[in-house]
A and B are shown apart, each in its own frame.
Chain A
């Protein structure tokens, strides 16, 4: 979790360009953040029962029951899972988006709409399937809702590791610029 916080703080410090340390930049975005391990069953949101994964309660609170790659002690994928949830919290900190009635399928954010062209297969690196199975890695969710795509875009943005197929280069550039432009 500390590694995830450091990585996210680093990208915010870099984009903000205010000479902040990584921890200062992190605090500037999130304020006091609580990352909390849970045990047993719990609820997330209105009524969703949760026994695994993570739940972003607010811009300042995330709870975890388990992490991707936990069984293999794969720190890289666990870190990405935490960053995915930090992406949700950041989305929340920016004021969660509302549906755009003029453009179904598009989310209206307070300052900048998220393009419907920001799709997983274009922007994000594919998760690799091996004989051991498919692992959640660059994409922590298969969900094509704007919120989940945003959280996985946040991983790509944090690591500067976007889809690298030349056919997607211009769309990736749009997404990078859009993410940079969101930073307060």
Chain B
């Protein structure tokens, strides 16, 4: 952290009298390592597959149990690579074969269970959020995926939230975001900017968010490009490393991290209301329209980035706020 030096404070020392706390045995729960390699019978209620202790599944099985196939790690890895490259053979807002407004919770279970061996956790909920976080590791680099399928009380999927990011795993725990990994970029073909633009056309709105000065407290990323397709029910956000270049800020979307919100198509009038119910309700205020902050129009952006390119988006630093130190 590089906050300005605060000098001259008198020394304030708060002493609280020592007393030793009674140590109770800690309860083990929550961490879920899903490494199931055989089929698992699921009820239609919340179930968390785990070989470690798990607190979640307290459901009473329904009379009609369904055997959901899971895949061993190698096959799950091949499946995930295929999904990243081809998106399960469907077009957004369909993701991995799940179409908002059409697919059911039963369909979601099949998709998520197949990937559970690559994930630390799996949540299944017939009328809420079902999610999985499958990872692809290559040395200390990891392609991190998190997909959440949200179902309504009729067990129909009404929203899909998806993130795919490149991480470098740290010895001390946690990770660093990596924005220049070709390993990553080559494997997420379905979601890379050129593919989305080619498939979906010129977005109704393209927006940018960045900062007018260096990121503080060791932050990374800081340059976001947002594509909005309200009629198709699609939001796609690309996050990449901001670069200060003279009086400008630049971001290059090749190998950028991807975040998506997907809804049933044909509901453009409710699209922004739906986004307001997500984190995007708070985050959108940081964005400005591409045309107002760059010299590009949406059409020029589309023509520039619909093919793979190392081109970047550049904007004047003075148009953007800075981060608090």
Q: Which residues of A contact B (CB under 8 A)?
A: 1-2, 5, 18, 23-24, 26-41, 51-53, 65-66, 68, 70, 97, 99-100, 104-107, 111-117, 119, 121-122, 125-126, 128-136, 141-149, 163, 165-171, 174-175, 177-178, 181-184
Contacts and interface: CB of A to CB of B under 8 A. Distances in A.
Contacts of B51: none
18 contacts: A27-B16, A31-B19, A52-B2, A65-B3, A99-B171, A99-B173, A104-B137, A105-B170, A121-B279, A126-B282, A133-B322, A141-B218, A143-B218, A163-B279, A165-B277, A167-B150, A168-B148, A174-B32
A178 B26 CA distance: 10
Contact of A111 (B17, B26, B123): B26
Interface residues of B, number: 78
B21 A184 contact: yes
Given A53-B1, A112-B26, A174-B30, A37 B170 contact: no
B209 to A, nearest CB: 8
B120 A36 contact: no
Contacts, number: 231
A131 B286 CA distance: 8
B26 A133 contact: no
A29 B19 CA distance: 9
A177 B30 CA distance: 7
B172 A99 contact: yes
A175 B173 CA distance: 17
B204 interface: no
Nearest to B6: A66
B12 A35 contact: yes
B168 to A, nearest CB: 9
Contacts of A135: 324
B79 interface: no
A105 B175 contact: yes
Contacts of A23: 16
A170 B146 CA distance: 13
Contacts of B14: 1-2, 5, 33-35
